[in-house]
Structure 1
Amino acid sequence: MKFSVFTVMTPELTPEELVAALKEYGYDGVEWRMKDVPESAVKEAPSFWGNNRCSIGESASDWELGRIREWTRQRGLSVVGVTPYLTAGDLEGTERVMRVAKKLGARQIRVGVPWYGPGAKYDELFSQGVEYLRGVEALSGKYAVKGLVETHHGTIAPSVGLAYRLVDGLDPDRVGVLLDPGNMVHEGYEAYRMGMELLGPYLAHVHVKNACWVRRDGGKSWHVSWCSLADGIVDWKRVLADLKSVGYNGYLCFEDFSDVQPSRVVLKQNIEYLRSLL
């Protein structure tokens, strides 16, 4: 298995600073966040979803993309993927991201999944999701870039089983699943190995982070909080053993939201921790 970083977790670093750090700490690749920084946030302190300096703009020029690709190649790193924030059904936006991925040399992107909330009807959202993924499958054939459905709380794919239901019957060379055990602390937990066995060839990528349940409102209720890899509910030693058991040899991509130490410290500590477990 190889190590990469999703750049959402390093908001205070520039792309050039990040790839230098990844080379120094022994990473193999990088997964670029694709999102415009809101104009209102540019002067704010760096943050994951606000002034994230390690993002690719949605309207990045070919020159900008070329610089990022060159910085990455010079450090001997692979561009693992491009991760935008697409809406399910937005095939025009999906194609735009696939074109960016192609220019960067990436082989996969994260695609949209319908959100589930009050007033939603699962059957309708499922039909919309499947129709969209059929379009993603066709675009993947055109650009040779795979579309990934992420297991994510709040969507109709919070668990591996429900993500599998969305992709079942589609070409696993064109559409796959991004397994995120950290998200499954919020919602969607299943036995890890069982889910991996269910996915089979659809298991395409893994995000690495952790979370825990904590009390709030004076101890009257619970909510999920992001935490360091070693301190959360996800047993990463178990997850890694299960990944080995099903023959997974792809990327382990860090997406740490613990926000307790500077990014460079977290980058170094995370890869050392996972290596110790392996």
Structure 2
Amino acid sequence: MKFSVFTAATPDWTPAEVANVLAEQGWHGIEWRITDQAEVEGQTGFWAGNRATWPLTGLEDRLDEIAAITTGAGLEYSALGGYAPPTRRVDAERMLAATARLGAGRVRIAGLKVEPGQTYREAFAACREHWEWVEDKARQYGVQALVELHHETLTPSASAARRLLDGLDPAYVGVIHDIGNLVIEGWEEHGLDLLGEYLAHVHVKNCAWHLAGVESDGTLRWEPKWVPLREGRASLPELFAALARTGYDGWVAVEDFSTALPLPERTAGNLEYLTAVARAAGYDLR
């Protein structure tokens, strides 16, 4: 098992800074966020103004720089964190091509939703057709395309993702398991056995439900909030024990969007915690 950080969770650092810090702390790899994002002058954030994000626009001209920063720090790629959905086929293929050129192995293709005017069945059938195209392109490039278990998409659960990919070649398409997202939608007792051979990658973060307000009629309104890995609804010790039972020994990438600790303490503490949890589950980490 190897540990990496998805750079959506490191907005304060430049690519060179995040690579060097993670290497110094002992992480095995990095998962680069790649997307055209909004910029907020003078501010950084997870989703806008993230300094550790590579833009999709002009990506092909930055690949040598990405490779130099990654390998120069002695890190591996756990995957590329793309945001292009399969409906944007030109951009999705660009991400597949970049993954092949970098030797990153795996890339996330963004999930789809039910669009206005669609029924769920229509949306799911269309999504399946898109993923048949993704599988074909991933095979051409010799990489693996990943769909994430993510709330408010067509694949919030293991069973939905399995249904989407069933019959496609797991060498070229797979699933990112994300326990933090499952707290919000799609919980199926981890669902690892449902994914079977399609379990290709693991993201970890944690989430808790918080009282967000009270309506005029007294109805309580609850909303999810990202919290540190040790807190929240998800039990990482239980997850790692379940991963061990399935024989999973691949990458675990951290997406910690909590802000209780400063970023350097957060990343260092997360590596220490994950190492302890994995060893307790029986993993032999070296």
Distance in 2 separating the partners of 1:74 and 1:117:
43
Per-residue deviation, 1:259: 2.0
For residue 197 of structure 1, what is the aligned residue in structure 2?
Answer: 193
Q: Pairwise mapping of residues 82-231 of structure 1 onto structure 2 (< 5 A)?
A: 82-116=80-114, 120-192=118-190, 195-218=191-214, 220-231=220-231
* Partner in structure 1 of residue 266 of structure 2: 266
Question: Are the structure 2 counterparts of residues 165 and 141 from structure 1 closer, same or farther at C-alpha, using a change threshold of 3 Å?
Answer: same
Please tell me whether residue 246 in structure 1 is matched to residue 238 in structure 2.
no
Instruction: Give the Cα–Cα distance (whole angstroms) in 2 for the partners of residues 234 and 3 of structure 1.
Output: 18
Q: Using the alignment, how far apart are the partners of 1:148 and 1:157 within structure 2?
A: 12
Q: Which runs of 5+ in 1 are unaligned?
A: none
Cα displacement (A) at 1:127: 0.7
The residue that corresponds to 1:55 in the other structure is: 53
Distance 1:134 1:63 in 2: 29
SS of structure 1 residue aligned to 2:179? coil
Q: TM-score, normalised by structure 2?
A: 0.92
Partner of 2:37: 37
CA distance in 1 between partners of 2:153 and 2:171 (Å): 23
Gaps of 5+ in 2: 279-286
Shift of 1:25: 1.1
Structure 1 contact 89–112 (Cα < 8 Å) conserved = no
Equivalent residues of 2:86, 2:92 under 8 A apart = no
TM-fit CA distance, 1:61? 5.0
Amino acid paired to 2:121: D
Q: Distance in 2 between matches of 1:169 and 1:163?
A: 12
Instruction: Select between 89-98 and 177-186 the one with higher mean Cα deviation.
Output: 89-98
Residue correspondences, number: 274
1:65 paired residue among 63, 66, 75: 63
1:14 aligns with 2:14: yes
Cα gap change, 1:63 to 1:211, in 2 (>3 Å): same
Answer with 108-117 or 130-139: which moved more: 108-117
Shift of 1:148: 0.5
Post-superposition CA distance 1:36-79 (Å, at most 9, x none): 232xx241311011101101111235452212211211222111
Is the CA contact 2:34–2:81 (under 8 Å) kept in the aligned structure 1? yes
- Describe the SS at the equivalent of 2:175: strand
Deviation at 1:260, TM superposition (A): 2.2
Deviation at 1:103, TM superposition (A): 2.4
SS in 2 for 1:182: helix
Residue 109 of structure 2 aligns with an amino acid whose one-letter code is: V
**1:16–1:68 CA contact under 8 A, matched in 2:** no
Give runs of ≥4 in structure 1 deviating > 3 Å: 60-63, 116-120
Amino acid at match of 1:161: S
Q: Are the counterparts in 1 of residues 143 and 172 from structure 2 also a CA contact under 8 Å?
A: yes
Tell me whether 262-271 or 3-12 shows the greater mean CA deviation: 262-271
Mapped partners of 1:19, 1:105: distance in 2: 17
Shift of 1:117: 6.8
Q: Secondary structure at the match of 1:207?
A: strand
- Percent identity, please: 38
CA RMSD of the aligned region, Å?
A: 1.5
CA contact (8 A) 2:86 2:134 kept: no
Aligned residue type for 2:178: D
In the TM superposition, what is the alpha-carbon distance from 1:244 to its structure 2 partner?
A: 0.6
| Distance in 2, Cα, partners of 1:51 & 1:119 | 33
Q: Take 1:84 and 1:61, find their aligned partners in 2: how far apart are those partners? A: 11
Structure 2 Cα separation of the partners of residues 114 and 65 of structure 1? 27
